[in-house]
Amino acid sequence: MSRRHEVEQHLLALGDIRGIMNSMKTLAYMETRKLARFLEVQREAVQQMQAVAEDFLGHYPGLAGATTPQTPQMAVLFGSERGFCGDFNESLVDALKESGIGAVRHLVVVGHKLGSRMEREPKLAAIVGGASAAEDVEAVLLGLTQSIARLQTAEGPFPLVALYHAPDTVQPLRKPLLPPFTPPARALRPRTYPPLLNLPPAVFFAGLVEHYVFAALHEIAYVSLMAENQRRVRHLDGAVRHLDEQSEAWARRSNAMRQEDITEEIESILLGAMDT
């Protein structure tokens, strides 16, 4: 009886773990639905800024290279803050080595799960806490932009690229952020009517670049978080199925042991009846 009791206790524990993981999977799926709404708005904002920049640079093409920075370079890696997302972080580390941006001088990592894997990387300049939900993105980007600005202040402007996952993709994506707007969506060409500006063109363009980079980082953060939650859903779905299989195996074992106990009890009753 004690062995069967242990089996039943283990079966109950598997059920509890299964319930927790299934709840986590449901929350991750709900997060992807919410992020889809955030991402739609953010993509529209980035596209509008790109359209403004294209029109502006059509009148002031000389400013297109005005913000072209020199070395050193920086790469921002968008990893995960939490686990249960498969090889999400490992593939970013591999892609860093294979993408040709491994020669950058500074690496900024978003997400402590990825950061813990790269703590011994000599080029690591900062680890920024990642987002667990869409509402966390603002605070994450505040810390990220502060880290980037600190390095820019110390060594001047430099090319900046982002490495991140997107939904339904296998390999991480690489997106150049600085210098911006290169290449433009269409070849720069003179426009008939110049834009009406209240600022000098160079000042206006510098402000546009700043807003564009911040908006693009917003978009990347939402895309990365959606991809992370998609992988978490798939990972936890596989784990739940595995637990279901384990539970079925333990349930069969418990039933077999219960049948053995019943058989032994019947045999004891029969032996007792024969003795009387």
Say yes or no: 181 and 246 in one domain.
Answer: no
Residue 39, in any domain of the structure: yes
Residue 6, in any domain of the structure: no
pLDDT in tens, 261-271: 778 777 777 77
Say yes or no: 52 and 160 in one domain.
Answer: yes
For strand 106-110 and strand 124-128, is the pairing parallel, antiparallel, or unpaired?
parallel
Query: What is the length of the chain?
Result: 276
- Give the DSSP H or E segment for 11: helix 2-59
Say yes or no: 260 and 123 in one domain.
Answer: no
Q: Which of 194, 207, 212, 178 is nearest to 61 (CA)?
A: 194
Q: Which long-range contacts link 217-220 to residues 24+ away (Cβ below 8 Å)? A: 217/76, 217/141, 217/144, 217/145, 217/162, 217/177, 218/42, 218/45, 218/137, 218/141, 219/39, 219/42, 219/43, 219/45, 219/46, 220/78, 220/162, 220/164, 220/175
CATH of the domain at 40: 3.40.1380.10
Residue 220, in any domain of the structure: yes
Asked whether 167 and 230 are in contact (CB, 8 A), the reply is: yes
Give CA angle at 59 (57, 63), nearest 5°.
45
Say yes or no: 206 and 74 in one domain.
Answer: yes
pLDDT band, residue 72 (cuts 50/70/90): very low
Q: Which amino acid is it at 24?
A: M
The domain containing residue 138 runs over which residues? Answer: 34-231
Q: Which of 108, 103, 90 is nearest to 170 (CA)?
A: 90
Phi, psi values for residue 128, rounded to 5°: -110, 135
Residue 5, in any domain of the structure: no
SS3 24: helix
pLDDT band, residue 54 (cuts 50/70/90): confident
Q: Which of 124, 120, 96 is nearest to 109 (CA)?
A: 124
State the total domains in the chain. 2
Of the candidate ranges 47-51, 66-70, 167-171, the one whose mean pLDDT is the lowest: 66-70
Residue 226, in any domain of the structure: yes
77 bridge partner residues: 109, 163
162 bridge partner residues: 76, 175
The DSSP code sequence of 103-135 is T-SEEEEESHHHHHHSTT-TTEEEEE---SSGG
Residue 7, in any domain of the structure: no
Q: pTM for the whole thing?
A: 0.84
CA distances from 180 to 6, 160, 169, 213 (A): 63, 9, 24, 8
pLDDT in tens, 235-271: 999 989 998 898 888 888 888 888 877 787 777 777 7
Q: Which of 44, 68, 22, 74 is nearest to 215 (CA)?
A: 44
Residue 255, in any domain of the structure: yes
Say yes or no: 249 and 153 in one domain.
Answer: no
Instruction: Please say whether the dihedral angle defined by the alpha carbons of residues 213, 91, 36 and 24, taken in this order, is positive or negative.
Output: negative
Say yes or no: 127 and 97 in one domain.
Answer: yes
Comparison of pLDDT for 182 and 126, the residue scoring more: 126
**DSSP 8-state symbol, 75:** E
Q: Which amino acid is it at 115?
A: G
Residue 179 pLDDT: 83
Say yes or no: 47 and 80 in one domain.
Answer: yes
Residue 97, in any domain of the structure: yes
Say yes or no: 153 and 264 in one domain.
Answer: no
CA distances from 240 to 32, 164, 180, 245, 248 (A): 19, 27, 44, 9, 12
And the tokens for 217?
A: 């980082």
Say yes or no: 112 and 140 in one domain.
Answer: yes
Say yes or no: 116 and 248 in one domain.
Answer: no
**What average pLDDT does the segment 168-190 reach?**
74
Say yes or no: 20 and 130 in one domain.
Answer: no
Say yes or no: 265 and 141 in one domain.
Answer: no
